Amino acid sequence: MQEQIALLANTMKQADYILIGAGAGLSAAAGLSFADEKLFRKRYPYWAERGRHSEYHMFSFRDWTIEQQWAYMADHISRVRFETPPLPLYQTLKTILEEKLTDKEYMIITSNVDCQFTRNGFPPQKVFEYQGNYDNLCCTNQCTQEIWPFQPVMEQMIAVANPITASIPSSLLPHCSNCGAPLRLAFRDYPSYNAEKIAYQQWLKQSEQGMLCIMEIGVGFNSPGVIRVPFERITQERSNVKFFRITVDYPDSEEEIAYPEIPKPIADKSCSINADAGFVIHELLKLL
């Protein structure tokens, strides 16, 4: 394990470009977990009594009214985005990238919607939140590129949510001030997605000019087509690249799947570090 982390540290030192792909495993290692069943039972007894057992489990849930969905999302987002402070593990990662490796160009792509990168002071232009985040609302009718901050709406929803029905009143359902259509949270297919994706792809193109170190941190199989598979493809296609997969295995869990294995065709350019992201990042700080 130490040997692999030392290899990663040396590769980071040698690289011209560092590409980081961060999934839920990074925030979990930092202390923000969606799998906490005790917290779920306490905070969402209505849903716990109906067979749901974690916030993670709710991501795929569809069998609710729109009023229940907003009541849940308001409280969930309040916890994840507003009650949780900026987490120190992200600060440590920032120290590594911004203070220890000052001569490297780096870029981050993340599926996390918790804003931990930007809340910890990472420059927004270096963070591609490809699923968007929990901060804004946008029009379901796509009549405008305008977005609206969710926080004031969220606070109103939480203030009047009915715990017996786990619902908000229908009168609080948010609507577009432009066309009157319902609003939705601006994640997945949000208005600035295309522009941000183009900037990310331009960075990838530019990184072909030097040695690239790829670090995949805590990425499972929720949406493998965005980080996991493209990272493997980049590794396969390029010669001047090293790929590191940092993830813990969950052999007993049916929900959390995060195989640390590396596909054979890229094995010679890759290294799997089957360890908690927090441990690896703290070890890196010592070595850099």
Using rule CB under 5 A, residue 80 touches Zn ion: no
Tell me which of 143, 159, 160, 257 binds Zn ion, using CB under 5 A. 143
CA dist., res. 165 & res. 277, Å (int): 39
CA dist., res. 247 & res. 139, Å (int): 36
Residues 15-54 that bind Zn ion (CB under 5 A): none
Bridge partners (DSSP) listed for residue 169 = none
Contact stretch for Zn ion (CB under 5 A) within 9-17, 135-143, 194-202, 231-239: 135-143
Using rule CB under 5 A, residue 201 touches Zn ion: no
The answer for residues whose C-beta is within 8 angstroms of residue 253's C-beta and 6 or more apart is: none
Q: With respect to Zn ion, which residue has the nearer C-beta, 146 or 155?
A: 146
CB of 149 to Zn ion, least distance (A): 16
Q: With respect to Zn ion, which residue has the nearer C-beta, 50 or 175?
A: 175
- What type of residue sits at position 271? C
Using rule CB under 5 A, residue 178 touches Zn ion: yes
CA dist., res. 83 & res. 77, Å (int): 9
Using rule CB under 5 A, residue 181 touches Zn ion: yes
Per the listing, tokens 């054979």 go with 264
CA dist., res. 152 & res. 93, Å (int): 31
Q: With respect to Zn ion, which residue has the nearer C-beta, 179 or 229?
A: 179
Q: Taking CA 107 as the corner, what is the angle to CA 282 and CA 204, rounded to the nearest 5 degrees?
A: 135
Using rule CB under 5 A, residue 284 touches Zn ion: no
CB of 141 to Zn ion, least distance (A): 4
Contact stretch for Zn ion (CB under 5 A) within 18-26, 34-42, 101-109, 179-187: 179-187
Residues in contact with Zn ion, counted by CB under 5 A, come to a total of: 7
- What type of residue sits at position 40? F
CB 33: neighbour CB atoms within 10 A?
16
Per DSSP, 224 falls in state T
Tell me which of 179, 198, 257, 267 binds Zn ion, using CB under 5 A. 179
Q: Which residues bind Zn ion (CB under 5 A)?
A: 139, 141, 143, 176, 178-179, 181
